[in-house]
Amino acid sequence: MADALTKNDGWFDHTYIEVVAEDGTGVQLRTKTTSLNMSGGNFDMESNETFGGAVKRYGAREDYEIGFEGIVSSHQDFDWIFHGANTTDASITSSSVVDYRVTLLWTDEASITAASQAITTASEASREYYAECNMVSLEKSQNVGENITATMTFKTAHEDKDGTINFKKEVCGTDSALSAASAYTSATKW
């Protein structure tokens, strides 16, 4: 049975967000993100009547989509990710599609600075990972007198080419812990 998150009900409004390129370094987007939207994984089910009863047929699962809107305080956290550039580069001179792992963490642990770090047994947490994500959209807007904002959207398939699912969800209560995530590589998702 999964741990129940019952100690605190007020920490769910704090979301830690990390985007890390395969074989790269994670970028923390928590302080810049103003909204989050996640969808996908749905599937269709159809029943076919036979002389022996109904037979169910399941459709393929939809792709997952994770979208963020945030205040642009550094283009390197938005444009650089979109173009697959190293976030430490001073300019973008090429564009490529890069696989990312998007990690989302909700916790009441006060010492957290990254979505992928370990959670102790004294805290509660819920974490979701999405691997092999591609940033498929980046839109920026600004109105007079307001901050420039960016909306970025990541998508990933339900499973990879080997049939392994591209997401992981985990939870811990005050009697258990979460391990830190491993480095994201072509061989290691979590």
In tens, the pLDDT along 66-106 reads 998 988 877 677 888 999 988 788 889 999 999 999 999 99
Question: Which residues lie across from 102 on neighbouring strands?
Answer: 19, 130
Cα distance between residue 77 and residue 86, in whole Å: 10
Predicted pLDDT at 161: 94
Q: Domain segments of the chain: what residues?
A: 11-42+60-172
CB 162 within 8 A of CB 143: no
Arithmetic mean of pLDDT over the chain: 88
Mean pLDDT confidence for 56-74: 90
Separation between Cα atoms, residue 85 and residue 155, nearest integer Å: 18
Looking at residue 75, what is its pLDDT?
64
Give the integer Cα–Cα distance in Å for 174 and 120: 8
Residue 56 has pLDDT above 50, yes or no: yes
End-to-end Cα distance, the chain = 22
Q: What is the pLDDT of residue 17?
A: 92
Higher pLDDT, 169 or 122: 169
pLDDT cut 70: percent of the chain above it: 92
pLDDT, residue 160, reads: 95
Which CA distances in Å does 171 have to 5, 16, 33, 127, 163? 8, 15, 23, 6, 24
Give the per-residue pLDDT at 78. Answer: 83
Residue 4 in this model has a pLDDT that exceeds 70: no
The C-alpha angle 48, 61, 160, rounded to 5 degrees, equals: 135
User: How confident is the model at residue 1, as a pLDDT?
Assistant: 42
Instruction: Give the model's confidence band at 173: pLDDT under 50 very low, under 70 low, under 90 confident, else very high.
Output: confident
Q: What pLDDT sits at residue 9?
A: 57
Please state, for a pLDDT cut of 90, what percent of the chain lies above it.
61
Q: What's the predicted TM-score (pTM) here?
A: 0.87
Query: 41, 37, 183, 185: which is closest to 104 by C-alpha?
Result: 37
One-letter amino acid for residue 130 of the chain:
Y
Phi then psi for residue 180, to 5 deg, are: -70, 150
Cross-strand bridge partners of residue 2? none
DSSP state of 160: -
Architecture (CATH level 2) of domain 11-42+60-172: Roll (2.30)
Q: Where are the beta strands (DSSP E) in the chain?
A: 15-21, 26-28, 33-39, 45-50, 53-58, 64-71, 100-107, 125-141, 149-156, 167-172
CA–CA gap between residue 123 and residue 164 (Å, rounded) = 30
Neighbours of 111 (CB within 10 A): 9
Query: What mean pLDDT comes out for the span 43-60?
Result: 91
